[in-house]
Homo-oligomer: A and B are copies of this chain.
Amino acid sequence: MSELARKTHAERTDLSDRLMLDAAISMIVERGTDRTTLKEVGEHAGYSRGLAGYRFGSKAGLFEAIVRSVGEKWLAELKRVTQGKCGLAAINAAVDEHCRVCLEASDTVRAFYILWFESIGVQSPVKAVIHGIHERRRRDVIQWVEQSDYAGPATAAAIADQFNAAVLGIVYYWLANPDNRRSTIAQHNELKANMALYFAGDSA
């Protein structure tokens, strides 16, 4: 069915969408968002100059589409590995999964986080999507803490913020030093150890 010939409209757009998103992800990882041009996204995907701009409306629209599609898969995966867990067990599972994905080092995730960080300075559609993802992550962590028997001094929200800040910081250094696998692993482990401190002497 992947002949050059006969395709339904839906199949055509699905295909060109996928090809262009893949092309864009590669280009973002290789040369950054600045030097990723709509023209080349279209052409690398095997289409014309103009298709990426036409399909996604603008460069920001293209980036938004990437963040949306990757973000959804990512959140679903995190949900899966923490299913039925709470407290430190859920946190550990989430950190492990996160570390695994970083080490896997797919262009997809790298591009996702590059767009995440770059969205900070602009009033782009990407920023809104990221904000939503962040909020969902935050709520998840709060829930894990609240459903556990944690009874320490820090609020669940404070722990969640601390946790998410740490994850983001770790991601930053991972992006900056992609080849230092040892450090990536160590920082994830240290985060788990750090979170365990909250749950260590809390039975009082």
Interface residues of A (CB under 8 A from B): 28, 31-35, 114-115, 117-118, 120-124, 127, 131, 134, 154, 158-159, 161-162, 164-170, 172-173, 175-176, 183, 186-187, 190-191, 193-194, 197-198
Cα distance, A193 to B168, chains bound together (Å): 19
Question: Which are the 9 A-B pairs with shortest beta-carbon distances?
Answer: A165-B169, A32-B122, A114-B121, A169-B169, A168-B169, A197-B197, A32-B121, A117-B117, A158-B190
In the complex the two chains form, is A173's CB within 8 Å of B165's CB? Answer: yes
User: Which residues of chain B come closer than 8 Å to A165, judged between CB atoms?
Assistant: 165-166, 168-170, 172-173, 187, 191
In the complex the two chains form, is A120's CB within 8 Å of B162's CB? Answer: no
Which secondary structure dominates chain A's binding surface?
A: helix
User: Which residues of chain B come closer than 8 Å to A169, judged between CB atoms?
Assistant: 164-169, 172
